[in-house]
Amino acid sequence: MPFTYQYPRAALTVDCVLFGFDGGALKVLLIRRGIEPFQNHWALPGGFVRPDETLDAAALRELQEETGLREVYLEQLYTFGEIDRDPRERVISVAYFALVRRADHIPDAATDAAEAPWFEAEKIPALAFDHAEILQTALERLRGKIRWQPVGFELLPKKFTLSQFQALYEAILGRELDKRNFRKKLLALDLLVALDESTNAASRRPAQLFRFDQRKYQALTRKGFIFDL
Amino acid sequence: MPFTYQYPRAALTVDCVLFGFDGGALKVLLIRRGIEPFQNHWALPGGFVRPDETLDAAALRELQEETGLREVYLEQLYTFGEIDRDPRERVISVAYFALVRRADHIPDAATDAAEAPWFEAEKIPALAFDHAEILQTALERLRGKIRWQPVGFELLPKKFTLSQFQALYEAILGRELDKRNFRKKLLALDLLVALDESTNAASRRPAQLFRFDQRKYQALTRKGFIFDL
DNA sequence: CTTTACAAGTGTCTTTTTTACACTTATTTG
DNA sequence: CAAATAAGTGTAAAAAAGACACTTGTAAAG
């Protein structure tokens, strides 16, 4: 035990709130804890930050280790530092907010889906530590954020229909939106590119596919443009 | 040295970006560092988190110790965890964002103003560590925040004129606003109370004083109201 | 081949919000 | 009492938001 200090030091962890969307409801990925404390309880994926990695890198690594996911949108959420949030000792947790395109993701055989299942954001079981509070903070961030930043696209397939996009907004905001007004406003932003493809219909009219023009958005952002839906 | 761990542990600090407004420009309080590293450099007030205090409490304590200020608006900003941000060893800093009513504050004799002066937010000297980046983050937060939350009032005297309020917004947003439109929109929120007092004029027409109706705002907030200026 | 079921797609009018814009008023000082 | 200074005030035009219902294209069923 070679590392000694004059004063006690808190341990440092990252925890990730990973959101996904399956076409109908907003989902959150939880893992079942294998060890004490809170063994067998549901919890957010996360773990200790290593001495030689940044916080962002730790969050990314934990997500990969525990869920097999890469290519996620990741941003720092908030740091939770209540004194007794971990029964063992003082642990500071830097929480992260993550979004993933579930449709594009092929589940990793190495990751047991039973140990890392998706829960509806509205139907979350009891969670370990203060993870319920962290999740609540993340939900509020997501609801606020989709209105001012184009993060919704991180939850949809790269090619999507306007109806899918509207369903996503309705699921996150928790209220219905007018189809015509929503489309009008969205298309007026001029940030979607209509593709040459349509969905191959299942007993109904095929829908036009679009992609989000990330390059154009970034160019506009540099000129002070603010996305607003 | 009684505290030993199996792995090295990062030290944990808080740093505060404290904003004030003097009627003309947005200001930031800096301190001159008394010890190495960066001795004599300008830096944000801050220091180590004690084992038995929360992050919020640490930020509040540091502000009081280094600036003599109480009654500040305080919220967590972001956590900075780059590996080499402190040359001594790994230090994680939880940055805070603070607002104070400079006009209401009588400088504390115990705090030497020469060691904790206010700098214009647009004219900041070179700073220790990654404090320039922290300050930049805080400025962006403030600019975004005043539009959706009534935090501007935390920078003005409890009794203020509409012109003072407009000058504050112009200083923070960095652009001029139309007087009539600004007043119309602000008063339409119906969150200001006109007082029975006016400013005692200095060779000009006296101005009506107002206060912000915090109770009313909180009641509206619970019903889903969102402040928007 | 025709009908049915189903989601996709589309336009106008009304209301609300935002923006542009200039003179009068109250007070102190010289 | 004139000058200087910031406070205070309204209207009209433009833009954005909101309400609202029918037609279209496809696959499946009959």
Handedness of CA A51, A57, A59, A63 (dihedral sign): negative
SS3 B188: helix
CA distance B114 to chain A (A): 32
Residues lining strand D at under 7 Å (Cβ) are: A 178-181, 185, 200-206, 228; B 161-163, 179-181, 183-184, 198, 203-208
**How far is Cα A109 from Cα B166, in angstroms, rounded to an integer?**
59
Could you tell me if A82 lies within 8 Å of chain B, comparing CB atoms? yes
Asked if A148 and A227 count as a contact pair (C-beta separation under 8 A), the reply is yes
CA distance A199 to chain B (A): 38
CB-nearest partner of A52 from B1, B51, B83: B83
Identify all chain A residues contacting B12, using CB atoms and an 8 Å cutoff: 9-10, 12, 92
Contact yes or no for A1 and B3 at CB 8 A: no
CA distance A113 to chain B (A): 32
A115 is catalytic: yes
Q: Which two tokens stand for residue A78?
A: 């908030």
Helix, strand, coil percentages (3-state) for chain A, rounded to 5, are 30, 25, 45
| Span B5-54, pLDDT tens digits | 999 999 999 999 999 999 889 999 999 999 989 999 999 999 999 999 99
Nucleotides of D under 7 A from a protein CB: 4-11, 17-21, 24-28
pLDDT of residue B107: 66
Q: Which of A115, A120, A122, A176 is catalytic?
A: A115
| Span A149-160, pLDDT tens digits | 999 999 999 999
pLDDT of residue B169: 98
Average pLDDT, chain A: 94
Has residue B109 got a pLDDT over 70?
no
Whose CA is nearest the C1' atom of nucleotide C19? B181
**How far is Cα A51 from Cα A95, in angstroms, rounded to an integer?**
18
Asked if B210 and B160 count as a contact pair (C-beta separation under 8 A), the reply is yes
Asked if B67 and B18 count as a contact pair (C-beta separation under 8 A), the reply is yes
DSSP A2-70: -EEESS---EEEEEEEEEEE-SSSEEEE-EE--SSSSTT-EE-SEEEPPTTS-HHHHHHHHHHHHH---
Whose CA is nearest the C1' atom of nucleotide D19? A178
pLDDT of residue A109: 57
Asked if B14 and B93 count as a contact pair (C-beta separation under 8 A), the reply is yes
CB-nearest partner of B4 from A4, A10, A49: A4
Asked if B95 and B12 count as a contact pair (C-beta separation under 8 A), the reply is no
pLDDT of residue A49: 98
Cα A31 vs. chain centroid, distance in angstroms? 15
Helix, strand, coil percentages (3-state) for chain B, rounded to 5, are 30, 25, 45
Has residue A108 got a pLDDT over 80?
no
Residue A194: exposure state from Cβ atoms within 10 A (0-12, 13-18, ≥19): exposed
Has residue A224 got a pLDDT over 90?
no
Band (A203; pLDDT cuts 50, 70, 90) = confident
